[in-house]
Each structure stands twice: as C-alpha cells, then as structure tokens.
Chain A
Amino acid sequence: GAGVSQSPSNKVTEKGKDVELRCDPISGHTALYWYRQSLGQGLEFLIYFQGNSAPDKSGLPSDRFSAERTGGSVSTLTIQRTQQEDSAVYLCASSPGGGRTYEQYFGPGTRLTVT
C-alpha cells in the first residue's frame, strides 16, 4: 500500500520568505509527527497530532513554525520568515495510534534550503 508522502521533495527559498511543507500520512493512521533533521544529526521532534486532540507543539523551535492537520489526515508545516538555520530535512511520520503508536512510518522528507 501507499506509504507516507511528502511534498515538495526539495525546496529552495530566500531568507525571509514563508514556506509550506505538506505531508500525506498512511490512510487510517491517527497519529502524525513532524521531525527536523539537520545535516549529520539525529531527528528533532517538532509536533505531534493524535486524532482530534490538541497537538503537542512542545518541539517547535520558535513562533515562526506552525502546523495544521486538516480532517485528521493531511498536515501542513508552515515556516514564516525563514532563516538560514531553518535549512534541514523535514520528516513526517504517521502511526496507527493506540497500542501501536510507536510504529512510526516515515516519509522521504522535504529538503529545505534557505539562501
């Protein structure tokens, strides 16, 4: 079946511009996560959505970052007024939730470059 998809795969933007990154989770998965991976680093948790519950935004690095999940499915991560330090690969993952919440299936990521 289809896995997690993300778009665009690559995004180059100028400092100060806003960007939107999209994630399509696996159908039926109730939990969705965003992570950031800087060059040569592990993954940094950003935000978590579970069903209709309030999201856990504790990992968002600044108020320039926000995310939405519409209809319990597709999610958009928005970065306003991008800075060079925002350059990274942004990874989305989904999981079935419940007792299988740790089974996270990752998308291929969006590589963001801020010039």
Chain B
Amino acid sequence: GESVGLHLPTLSVQEGDNSIINCAYSNSASDYFIWYKQESGKGPQFIIDIRSNMDKRQGQRVTVLLNKTVKHLSLQIAATQPGDSAVYFCAENGGTSYGKLTFGQGTILTVHP
C-alpha cells in the first residue's frame, strides 16, 4: 500500500504464516519491477524481480505477482521466519533502459516467533 510521511504500512505475522506485501506503482511505462528487503542499518538487498511480460515469478519462498491493469505488485513470502523481519520496498524502472529506479515508501514486516 501507499503511505505519506513517516507512517509506513506495517504487517505483523506469526512465524510460519504466509505474508503478502502490496505495492501500487505509478508509471505505466515501467516494464521492470524489483522487490528489495532492507534490514535495520543496512542497504537494501535484492529479493526478486519481474518483467512486464510476466504476471508471476517464483523464487525461493517468495513469489511476485504483477497486475499491469491496476498497476499493482505483490510479494508473497511463504512460511515467514523471524529473519524476514525488515522493511520491504518495491521499485520500478519507469521504462528506462538502464537502472534508474523509483522506489516505493516501503512496508514494515514484523514476524513474531
């Protein structure tokens, strides 16, 4: 989801549950999307990406879904673990041919043991 200022969306889950993090992107020209995970005090870490010619892509314990009609991305994390607790960002390329990315404001995921 979207937020303004310091009030990031938050998601709290129990260990072992599945998590779904949502993102609305803004630029209809974007044809490449990435999810990043950022732990406290660290730089963002690449999780998974998807191109606009796909609507689903799976990785290890993660799945990204893309709905271009409503400009919506989601990240699904299976069997969420405490180590998954972090801020998750989606990013879009705005149709650029190089790596200039526009990031969303992020969602805080907290996993309780």
Pairs across A and B, CB under 8 Å, 20 listed: A35-B103, A40-B6, A40-B7, A40-B105, A43-B44, A43-B89, A44-B103, A48-B99, A56-B100, A59-B100, A91-B44, A93-B43, A101-B99, A102-B49, A102-B101, A103-B46, A104-B99, A105-B46, A108-B43, A109-B42
Instruction: For chain B, residues 25 to 50, give those with C-beta under 8 angstroms from any C-beta of chain A.
Output: 32, 34, 41-46, 49
**Chain A residue nearest to B89 in the complex (CB):** A42
How big is chain B's contact interface, by range?
20 to 34
Complex alpha-carbon distance, A25 and B49, angstroms: 22
Residues of A within 8 A of B (CB): 4, 31, 33, 35, 39-45, 48, 50, 56, 59, 91, 93, 95, 101-109
Interface contact B6-A39, CB-CB below 8 Å: yes
Interface residues of B, dominant DSSP:
loop
> Which B residues are within 8 Å of any A CB, using their own CB?
5-8, 32, 34, 41-46, 49, 89, 91, 93, 98-106
In the bound complex, do residue B6 and residue A102 qualify as a contact, i.e. CB atoms below 8 Å apart? no
